[in-house]
Amino acid sequence: MNIIDYTGKINNHEEYIKILDKIKPICKYIEIVVIDGKENNELVDKFSEYIIDTKKVSKWWGNETSIVNNLYKIRASEEFFDYLKKYETFCKYYEYGTTKESLTRGDYSEITNFGYDDIAFYDEFDNYLLFTTTHEGNIAINDKILKGVI
């Protein structure tokens, strides 16, 4: 399994839905890290009955901070994925020169209606399928998802 950088590849709703549809059949659980020490977020509240585990973390998939954050492990379900589809995408990332604004700003990320919190999707073997560092606009994906192997 190789995790590859997918930053900037799902900047629109159509690509976001395609990726969710590829992940959904093999996803067993999702982890959400509620950033900046907040107690919860909309997804956590909505799917509280699906929560498998909670813990305090300052380190998670490629991130480390001095602030303790809440991580929620949530069982995957059809309802959860249907609810995710209401969001535009997790985040948007623009490299220098890809937009008029990036010519003056350089590389930059844009928060969408999904918010700042990070999310990761796992299969039954605890392999990452996709994960985000949402507030930085970063997304990584399991290369097997893109190849259609899993």
More confident residue, 101 or 111: 111
Query: Is the backbone of residue 148 left (phi > 0), alpha (psi -120 to 50) or beta?
Result: left
Above pLDDT 70, what percent of the chain?
Answer: 89
- 114: nearest Cα among 97, 95, 96, 139: 139
pLDDT at 57: 95
Query: Does the pLDDT value for residue 146 go beyond 60?
Result: yes
Mean pLDDT of all residues belonging to the chain:
89
Asked whether the beta carbons of 92 and 137 are under 8 A apart, the reply is yes
**What's the pLDDT tens digit per position in 16-53?**
999 999 999 999 999 999 997 777 789 999 999 999 99
pLDDT of res. 47: 97
Structure confidence at residue 39 (pLDDT): 74
Q: What is the pLDDT of residue 102?
A: 54
The answer to whether residue 101 scores a pLDDT higher than 70 is no
| This model's pTM is above 0.85 | yes
The pLDDT assigned to 97 comes to 59
pLDDT of residue 118: 95
